């Protein structure tokens, strides 16, 4: 197995090199997989643009990507059947620290995560044809699941974690601020739970996708009176990363309601209306990655209840990862950009 497989490597800001892949022996406890589909995340975009993310500089070239699914090529003694499509859980937790013992793998202090500067030495991510991944982090799926949908398992798990942290259940009024890919997935997940969802964004096109995916109403900032929202929502999912949107959330949530922060809030000088947290007894909760929600996300994908085609902005073959990241950087794509591995059709 040499020569004709490729991997992508981020060698400097805005530079992706394609290199032949020559995988060595399969590490113990891992299976050898062949990429079926992967998707681009905001984290990948930060590394691509700046060679850094959230203050973590990359120390050496790395393969990006932590959202993917793949076919089993060599089970390496495990009971995974060759050819099976598996969803890849990128959280490789230690299993023994206090967080792991509480089933909070997302907060494991010794976890490994692919395509990230937080693990040193950096662990290569999924934007490559051959992937060796821990068998325990491979979730086989039912036949017939579309790989371009299954690659949403990881980001959908993040969105479902935010819904769980916010306590979203059927019939609640839920506001999602920000209709980027994460906000859209939170909307789709909340709709699947039977919540009544309102979507808010600055961009009309993003709001249109939100209503296509099931939001009962879509609001474009600047085109309505914000006072209409005051106190109307049981839960707000903050997915924009913008402090004005967080202030909207504080106003829009009802008394004793909850706000779950799913976004990366960039530090900048802006005033947060903190007093409302006291006056309305608002619970503000953070949401970082996911735990049991990975399984929940895969099951949701298996049901076919969510229209992931509507949430897909574009599809590129793996060899065009750089073009795909440039398209994401341009900010015109609403929804996710998906990469396909060998043997899967591209385009669309
Ligand atoms: Zn991601
Ligand atoms: Zn741990």
pLDDT tens figures, 302-341:
999 999 999 999 999 999 999 999 999 998 889 999 999 9
What tens digit of pLDDT does each residue of 156-197 get? Answer: 999 999 999 999 999 999 999 999 999 999 999 999 999 999
3-class secondary structure, 255: strand
Q: Compute the distance from residue 82 Cα to the ligand 1 centre, in Å.
A: 27
Ion ligand 2: protein residues whose beta carbon lies under 5 Å: 93-94, 97, 100, 108
Cβ proximity of 63 and 128 under 8 Å: yes
Cβ proximity of 200 and 225 under 8 Å: no
Strands laid side by side in the 283-286 sheet: 217-220, 196-201, 173-177, 233-238, 253-261, 283-286
Q: Compute the distance from residue 182 Cα to the ligand 1 centre, in Å.
A: 9
Point out the ligand nearest to the CA of residue 289.
1
What's the pTM?
A: 0.95
Q: Compute the distance from residue 102 Cα to the ligand 1 centre, in Å.
A: 23
Per DSSP, 22 falls in state -
Q: Compute the distance from residue 10 Cα to the ligand 2 centre, in Å.
A: 28
Structure tokens given for 197: 């969802």
Q: Compute the distance from residue 87 Cα to the ligand 2 centre, in Å.
A: 21
CB atoms closer than 10 angstroms to residue 173:
18
Write down the pLDDT at residue 59: 93
What tens digit of pLDDT does each residue of 220-258 get? Answer: 999 999 999 999 999 999 999 999 999 999 999 999 999
Q: For the chain, which residues make up each domain, given as ranges?
A: 5-152+308-340, 159-286
Helical axes 181-192 vs 153-166, angle rounded to 10° = 60
Q: Compute the distance from residue 169 Cα to the ligand 2 centre, in Å.
A: 30
Topology of domain 159-286 in CATH is Rossmann fold (3.40.50)
Q: Tell me what the mean pLDDT of segment 81-85 comes to.
A: 96
- The helix (H) or strand (E) run that includes residue 347 is none
What tens digit of pLDDT does each residue of 263-282 get? Answer: 988 778 789 999 999 999 99
Point out the ligand nearest to the CA of residue 115.
1
CA angle 239, 211, 323 (to 5 degrees): 65
CATH homologous superfamily of 5-152+308-340:
Medium-chain alcohol dehydrogenases, catalytic domain (3.90.180.10)
């Amino acid at each position: 197995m040499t020569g004709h497989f490729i991997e992508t490597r981020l060698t400097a800001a805005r530079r992706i090199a394609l290199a032949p892949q020559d995988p060595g022996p399969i590490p113990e406890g891992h299976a050898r997989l062949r990429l079926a589909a992967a998707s681009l995340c905001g984290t990948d975009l930060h590394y691509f643009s700046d060679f850094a993310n959230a203050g973590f500089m990359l120390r050496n070239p790395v393969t990006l990507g932590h959202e993917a699914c793949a076919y089993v090529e060599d089970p390496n003694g495990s009971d995974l059947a060759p050819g099976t499509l598996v969803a890849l859980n990128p959280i490789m937790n230690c299993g023994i620290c206090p967080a792991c013992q509480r089933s909070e793998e997302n907060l494991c202090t010794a976890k490994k995560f692919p395509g990230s500067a937080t693990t040193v030495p950096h662990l290569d991510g999924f934007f490559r044809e051959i992937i060796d991944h821990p068998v325990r982090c491979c979730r086989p799926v039912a036949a017939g699941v579309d790989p371009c949908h299954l690659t949403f398992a990881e980001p959908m798990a993040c969105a479902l974690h935010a819904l769980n942290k916010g306590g979203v259940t059927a019939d609640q009024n839920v506001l999602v601020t920000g209709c980027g890919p994460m906000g859209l997935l939170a909307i789709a997940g909340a709709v699947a739970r039977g919540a009544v969802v309102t979507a808010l964004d600055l961009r009309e096109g993003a709001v249109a996708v939100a209503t296509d995916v099931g939001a009962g109403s879509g609001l474009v900032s600047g085109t309505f009176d914000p006072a209409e929202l005051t106190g109307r929502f049981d839960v707000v999912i903050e997915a924009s990363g913008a402090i004005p949107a967080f202030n909207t959330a504080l106003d829009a949530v009802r008394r004793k309601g909850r706000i779950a922060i799913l976004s990366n809030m960039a530090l900048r000088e802006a005033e947060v209306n903190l007093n409302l947290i006291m006056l309305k007894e608002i619970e503000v909760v953070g949401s970082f990655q996911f735990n049991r929600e990975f399984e929940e996300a895969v099951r949701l994908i298996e049901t076919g209840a969510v229209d992931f085609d509507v949430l897909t902005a574009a599809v590129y073959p793996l060899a065009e990862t750089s073009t795909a990241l440039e398209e994401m950087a341009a900010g015109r794509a609403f929804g996710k950009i998906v990469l396909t591995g060998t043997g899967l059709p591209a385009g669309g």
